[in-house]
Amino acid sequence: MEDLIETIPLRGADLSELSRIWSEVFGDEEEYISLFFSSLEGHIRAFGARRGGRLVAAGYSLDTGSIVFKGGEIPFGYLYALATLPEHRGCGLAAKIVRRIQSEDGASALVPAEDSLFSYYERFCYRTAFYTAKASALPRYYAGFEREAVGAEQYSVLREKYLCGRAHVRLNKTAASFFETTMKLSDGGLYKLSLGASEAVAACEISDGRLIIKELLSLEDEPRPFAEALCASFSLPCCEYFYPHTKKHPEEKIPFGMLCGADAPDDIYFGPAFD
């Protein structure tokens, strides 16, 4: 019998089954899974496949914002957490969920969990359209450096200031609030930074004793001093940071995410990914 892809209600027994698949496939704790569903309520659509009445595969389309570029703005669905239970893999269930989401979303974006998945999603007509830059830094103390925790709303306003004129994803209020909450779970957060006359914003989490700056934005061509100072302010031995690549250093440009169903530029800054 052909597997049918259906919309799964985010409540009761269905929500319990979705959480079970998520936990088994990705290994995330119940706290994060519950936070995901509750924080993004009204902005999530779940799709799944059943066998023998049991949910065995699922995927999600998230309403997180829109792509903003010169001459246009395009809402999109964020394809996320595509998962099939191990004993049901190899049957094309994930592919059917992807195609169902594409048919409903129009414009669809995703961030592959690993590099090998870029080629997998190309078969569904996704193209690499989102790019970022990534670097590492050691802690360094700078006189006059200041770090101020800010809320999602203020962070979003500052974020748009630093991304003005660049094709990028504008986060909606719900997505920005979700990022703020998840950063705080790791003792990180959203911050406004100042170093002399320069300013920046950063979205930070702490993982395995390292600082991960999932987004570092400023008007400076060289964001490293902010990363070094931020790492020192957390008293951590090293950090990894992500930032928009610049024309001054084109070699820093690395693929980050994919897009289909939208007539948008080929070089878009995405921002922090859900992970």
Q: In this predicted model, what pLDDT tens digit does every residue of 162-188 receive, in sequence order? A: 999 999 999 999 999 999 999 999 999
The structure's pTM equals 0.93
40 confidence band (pLDDT: 50, 70, 90): very high
The domain made up of 5-110 has a fold known as Aminopeptidase (3.40.630)
Distance CA 168, CA 131 (A): 10
Over 70: is that where the pLDDT of 251 sits? no
Confidence band (pLDDT; 50, 70, 90) for 249?
low
Of the two residues 204 and 265, the one the predictor is more confident about is 204
pLDDT higher than 90, residue 246: no
Q: What is the mean predicted confidence (pLDDT) over 123-141?
A: 96
pLDDT band at 252; cut points 50, 70, 90:
confident
Q: How far is Cα 160 from Cα 242, in angstroms, rounded to an integer?
A: 17
* Across 245-262, average pLDDT: 84
Cα Dmax for the chain:
68
Q: Is 80 exceeded by the pLDDT of residue 105? A: yes
| Residue appearing with tokens 């902005």 | 43
Contact present, 259 and 126 (Cβ < 8 Å) = yes
In this model, does residue 56 exceed pLDDT 90? yes
| % residues pLDDT > 90 (the chain) | 87
As a whole number, the mean pLDDT across the chain is 93
Q: Which helix (H) or strand (E) holds 221?
A: none
- Provide the residue count of the chain: 275
- Looking at the chain, which residues constitute the CATH 3.40.630.30 domain(s)? 5-110, 132-255
What would the two tokens of residue 142 be? 């700078």
Which among 156, 160, 153, 163 has a CA at the least distance from the CA of 132?
163
Kindly tell me if the per-residue pLDDT of 1 is higher than 80.
Answer: no
Please determine, for residue 247, whether its predicted confidence score (pLDDT) is greater than 80: no
**Which two three-digit tokens encode residue 225?**
């001093």
User: What would the two tokens of residue 57 be?
Assistant: 């595969």
Domain 132-255: CATH architecture, name and number where available: 3-Layer(aba) Sandwich (3.40)
Helix, strand, coil % in the chain, rounded to nearest 5: 30, 35, 30
For 196-231, write each residue's pLDDT tens digit. 999 999 999 999 999 999 999 998 878 999 999 999
Which of 27-36, 98-107, 242-251 is predicted least confidently?
242-251
